[in-house]
Amino acid sequence: EEEATEDIHRLGGSEPLDQPYFAVSAFDIYKKRIGWLLLLFFAGTLTGYVTTLFEGVWGVFTALTIFVPLVIGTGGNAGSQTIATIIRAITLGEVKPATMIRAWRKELFTGLMLGTTMCVLAIALTLIVWQVDLGVALAVAFTLPVVVMWAVTIGTIVPVVADRIGIDPTVVSGPMISTLVDATGLAIYYTLAGFILGVF
């Protein structure tokens, strides 16, 4: 139970508490959280940097910005689901470096199915509900499977590699991987949109 509690804290981007919750002061909790929060804060600036790099794309097609939370949120959620599954499998000894490629193939195929489902739903929503340009709708829709497959790839490989080199997979997972998926997912979105909309 104690190990499970520590894993929950680390997956949330916080160091575990060494005492019962109500026996710990707010300042002690602050010290447990501030390090990770600062790290994630600076890592999060990558997303802003990526946004400025692709100003030529969203500056022309401003409707693209409406769907940024949808795209990176879907990628982050898919990555989180994968992380939870893979870390559990690592703990049970089912996934290890020798079986990582096998696990990755399974997660990639799962990601393709999930992403395709999101793609179909996105086309319907963007065209019917938001009534955006067809090019923008296609950019959003085609990005989702790619971002989901990229997220499950990171969510599979990072925990296994971390465990292999002696780092607790829960330490490098969760918020850190979500932040990475956000920045790279945004780059994928704007790159595909640039090609689909003829900006590049």
CA distance linking residue 106 with residue 91, whole number of Å: 18
How many structural domains comprise the chain? Answer: 1
Chain centroid offset of residue 142 CA = 17
What is the reported pLDDT for 19?
80
pLDDT tens-digit profile of 170-181? 877 777 788 889
Q: Give the Cα separation of 121 and 99 in Å (integer).
A: 33
Separation CA 79–CA 76 (nearest Å): 5
- Helix 68-91 vs helix 2-11: angle between axes, to the nearest 10 degrees? 160
Lowest mean pLDDT among 48-62, 70-84, 145-159: 48-62
Whether residue 3 is predicted with pLDDT greater than 60 in this model: the reply is no
Q: What stretches of 54-174 show up as alpha helix (H) in DSSP? A: 55-58, 68-91, 100-124, 134-164, 169-172
pLDDT digits (tens, 9 = 90+) for 95-124: 999 999 999 999 999 999 999 999 999 999
Which CATH number is 161's domain given?
A: 1.10.357.20
Tell me the pTM: 0.85
187, 54 Cβ separation under 8 angstroms: yes
62: containing domain: 2-196
User: Above 60 in pLDDT, residue 169?
Assistant: yes
Segment 26-50, tens digit of pLDDT:
999 898 888 878 887 888 888 889 9
- Which pLDDT score, from 0 to 100, does residue 136 have? 96
pLDDT of the residue at 154? 96
DSSP helix/strand/coil, 41: helix
